[in-house]
């Protein structure tokens, strides 16, 4: 299996595969703009900031009032694989979203009945389930476009301003639909643009932001938008195809606990091998060095995760409970983040009141650990050698390994 090279933004699978043909890669992908072009981009003479703010406010109000949306979408960017798809959205938290990844024949379906969010990959015939956010916050991760996210949470548009004024800078025509273009200039040269249709609903979005030393560009569009129309019953009644397997069951079948040296399942490092050393910054503190951490404990869990991985987010509270029970018995956890900035990690840690060490900038380290799916957990002994490794959260397997290390 090979990693998707284009993006470190991983999708919400517990074992969210990082394989280019795998499940989570479909989450990072977003769509090529097939047939969508700015037929005209006509500069408007410098308009007052108040006009831009007023236009954005109208859009927020329209997105707040609309109860259903059906449309196609496309998205492309310098850091992602192009995708396109279909949206069927109903407030407060019902959705049926189909994502097609460029270069593959498979699809990813995200379906929420208002209680449970089910995500299914036709290529891998695997699914994941999690509670549907009451306000639809986790329903649109697979398409990753602002137009869908803002339908459920219009305040996202307000947050775009980040204390900066919005400006009405242009008019544009997207496949025959006249739009007003509102631009927000952020820090360090970042630029956000939203394309607002005659009904004041979003028709497109673009961004240019700095990530480290690089500039990241993204662009999404919605076409064939219908608002307020009933969602087709066939979409609301969708169910898993026959033969679908849960990602948790698949992950458990690939795990290797601490018996023997193990084989290189999924390309992971073998049990008994020395864990690659690292020294990385910890949120709110100094750097943490693996060698120092493992020597201080009977067993240390090195946990790889990302905010874009739903099962990772589900796993974190369980890891926190485990740490609270076992920390005084010679156990510690280094939660190594992939792909997020420090503000995102800090927000998650503060909201969850987590006690694990939040280790930042783990992307290069993840390569040394052969991470192909997240979450992945390695149990490391005081001698720095791998005692067990698990794809996904296998609490019983982890506790068994810890017990053999004298942590129970």
> For the chain, what are the domain ranges?
16-245, 255-404
- Read off the pLDDT of each residue in 108-121 and give the average, rounded to a whole number: 93
- Supply the pLDDT for residue 165: 76
CATH number for the domain whose boundaries are 255-404: 3.40.30.10
Report the candidate in 21, 147, 25 with the shortest Cα–Cα distance to residue 80.
25
Q: How confident is the model at residue 216 (pLDDT cuts 50, 70, 90)?
A: confident
- Supply the pLDDT for residue 190: 86
Whole-number Å distance between alpha carbons of 224 and 206: 19
Whole-number Å distance between alpha carbons of 233 and 124: 26
Is the pLDDT assigned to residue 394 strictly greater than 60? yes
Cα distance between the two ends of the chain: 35
Whole-number Å distance between alpha carbons of 48 and 52: 7
User: Which of 100-109, 269-278, 355-364 is the least confident region?
Assistant: 100-109
| pLDDT 10s digits, 235-260 | 999 999 999 988 767 666 655 554 43
Whole-number Å distance between alpha carbons of 397 and 253: 12
> pTM to 2 decimals?
0.62
- Supply the pLDDT for residue 254: 55
User: Which of 30-34, 117-121, 290-294, 365-369 is the least confident region?
Assistant: 30-34
- Supply the pLDDT for residue 65: 97
Q: Is 379 exposed, middle or buried (0-12, 13-18, 19+ CB in 10 A)?
A: buried
Radius of gyration of the chain (CA): 22
| pLDDT 10s digits, 64-95 | 999 999 999 999 988 778 999 999 999 999 99
**% of the chain at pLDDT higher than 70:** 83
Secondary structure (DSSP) of 11-64: -S-TTEE-BTTSHHHHHH-----SS--EEEEEE-----HHHHHHHHHHHHHHHH
Task: Tell whether domain 16-245 is in CATH 2.40.10.350.
Answer: no
- Supply the pLDDT for residue 15: 52
User: Which of 41-45, 144-148, 281-285 is the least confident region?
Assistant: 41-45
Query: Which helix (DSSP H) or strand (DSSP E) does residue 326 occupy?
Result: helix 310-326
What does pLDDT average to over the chain? 82
Residue of 309 and 10 predicted with greater confidence: 309
Whole-number Å distance between alpha carbons of 148 and 128: 21
At residue 155's C-alpha, the angle toward residues 309 and 14, to 5°, is 10
Residue of 14 and 277 predicted with greater confidence: 277
Q: Do domains 16-245 and 255-404 have the same CATH topology?
A: no
Is the pLDDT assigned to residue 31 strictly greater than 70? no
């Amino acid at each position: 299996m090979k990693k998707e090279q284009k993006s470190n933004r991983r999708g919400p699978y517990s074992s969210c595969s990082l394989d280019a043909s795998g499940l989570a890669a479909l989450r990072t992908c977003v769509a090529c703009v097939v047939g969508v072009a700015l037929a005209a981009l006509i500069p408007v003479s410098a308009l007052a900031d108040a006009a831009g703010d007023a236009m954005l406010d109208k859009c927020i109000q329209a997105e707040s009032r609309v109860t259903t949306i059906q449309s196609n979408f496309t998205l492309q960017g310098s850091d992602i694989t192009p995708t396109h798809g279909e949206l069927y959205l109903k407030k407060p938290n019902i959705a049926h979203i189909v994502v097609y990844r460029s270069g593959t024949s498979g699809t990813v379906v995200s379906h929420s009945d208002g209680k449970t969010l089910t995500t299914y990959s036709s290529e891998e015939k695997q699914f994941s389930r999690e509670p549907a956010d009451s306000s639809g916050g986790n329903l649109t991760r697979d398409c990753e476009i602002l137009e869908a996210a803002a339908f459920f949470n219009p305040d996202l548009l307000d947050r775009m301003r980040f204390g900066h004024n919005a400006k009405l800078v242009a008019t544009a025509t997207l496949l025959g639909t006249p739009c007003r273009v509102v631009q927000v200039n952020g820090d360090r040269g970042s630029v956000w643009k939203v394309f607002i249709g005659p009904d004041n609903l979003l028709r497109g979005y673009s961004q240019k932001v700095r990530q480290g030393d690089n500039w990241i560009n993204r662009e999404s569009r919605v076409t064939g938008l219908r608002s307020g129309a009933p969602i087709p019953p066939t979409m609301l009644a969708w169910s898993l195809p026959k033969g679908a397997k849960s990602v948790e069951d698949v992950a458990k079948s690939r795990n290797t606990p601490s018996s023997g040296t193990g084989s290189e399942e999924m390309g992971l490092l073998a049990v008994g091998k020395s864990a690659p050393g690292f020294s990385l910054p910890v949120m709110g503190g100094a750097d943490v060095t693996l060698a120092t951490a493992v020597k201080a404990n009977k067993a240390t869990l090195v946990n790889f995760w990302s905010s874009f991985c739903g099962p990772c987010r589900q796993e974190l509270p369980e890891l926190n409970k485990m740490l609270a029970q076992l920390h005084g018995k010679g156990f510690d956890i280094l939660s190594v983040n992939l792909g997020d900035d420090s503000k995102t990690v800090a927000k998650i840690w503060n909201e969850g009141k987590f006690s694990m060490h939040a280790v930042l900038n783990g992307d290069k380290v993840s390569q040394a650990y052969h991470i192909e799916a997240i979450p992945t957990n390695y149990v490391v002994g005081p001698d720095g050698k791998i005692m067990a490794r698990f794809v996904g959260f296998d609490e019983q397997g982890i506790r068994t390994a810890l017990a053999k290390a004298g942590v129970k």
